[in-house]
Amino acid sequence: MSAAATAGSGWDAHGHLFGPYDHYPLAGERSYSPPEATAAQYLAHLARLGLSNGVLVQPSAYGADHRLLLETLQAQPQLRGVMVTHPGALPTLAGLHAQGVRALRFSQRSGAGQNFAGSASLADLQALAPAMADAGLHAELWTDCQALPALAAVLRQLPCPVVIDHMGGFDVAAGPAEPGFQTLLRLVGEGRTWVKLCAYRNLGGRVDDDAGAPFHTALLRAGAQRLVWGSDWPHLRVVPAPDALALLAQFRRWTDSPALAAQILQDNAQALYG
């Protein structure tokens, strides 16, 4: 095990906050209305997992309101943030890194899974990428394996690294040989694309389903040093919601090697977010 991965260390690289709504109301134009999931609850979630650090991803339901994210990062220096913004919305991206922000999030999804209200698009990413690189920020992209082949050339040309959410939204029925997932593997192998290991949404929410293990193994082989793990707390719009402890146990089981699991949870995440 890595010397850095001591007891109580490690990162949950994907969580969301909502509320309290009397202080942080949702945007008027939004695609969903979730229950509250507060910073105190997220910190308790980290403690339950035995992890020391977390990454908060601004949900689209907050639109252009960054207060909850930035105020939480200021109060909790063990946390990092991923913000959503659009070209021209902020006077500059300089200074976000010093506030704990490490990335901007964008969406480019296929078919019925089109972008939510409040999301930033691939075109927004292309426009903002030079300023992001100057500000020390990477891009986070919510996409799927149907869309990915058409995006790969654009992603390779960006001046900043890219992190793909939710294991690229793989199609469990199509298997790891599916062209879109093979595109994801190639991008990871090239060294500038990272992936968040979080399979349960691609398995219909079934935490006990090991059908995702071959995809996990393929990503480990493609580039284990470019993988991080995220719980996706509070598991929006999944009923019943999974137990994050079971998700973490599944990650460790699929990874097989405790040393490699420690590298992903601690060293990789520290390199990307620390």
Rounded to two decimals, what is the model's pTM?
0.94
Pairing of strands 79-83, 53-57: parallel
| Alpha-carbon distance values, 21 to 17, 26, 37, 38, 124 (Å) | 11, 7, 10, 9, 28
Interhelix angle 179-190/213-223, nearest 10 degrees: 30
Q: In angstroms, rounded to a whole number, what is the distance separating the alpha carbons of residues 211 and 155?
A: 28
Tokens for 178? 């599916």
10-residue averages of pLDDT along the chain (274 residues) = 50 98 93 93 98 96 95 98 96 97 94 70 96 98 95 97 97 96 98 96 85 97 98 93 95 96 98 96
Tokens 């939204």 appear where? 169
Residue 234 preceded by cis peptide, ω within 30: yes
Q: In angstroms, rounded to a whole number, what is the distance separating the alpha carbons of residues 186 and 188?
A: 5
Instruction: Give domain limits for the chain.
Output: 11-273
Specify the pLDDT at position 153. Answer: 97
| Alpha-carbon distance values, 165 to 134, 140, 248, 265 (Å) | 23, 7, 16, 16
Specify the pLDDT at position 4. Answer: 36
Q: Decide if 68 contacts 93 (C-beta within 8 A).
A: no
| CATH class as words, domain 11-273 | alpha beta
Radius of gyration for the alpha carbons in the chain, expressed in angstroms and rounded: 17
Specify the pLDDT at position 164. Answer: 98
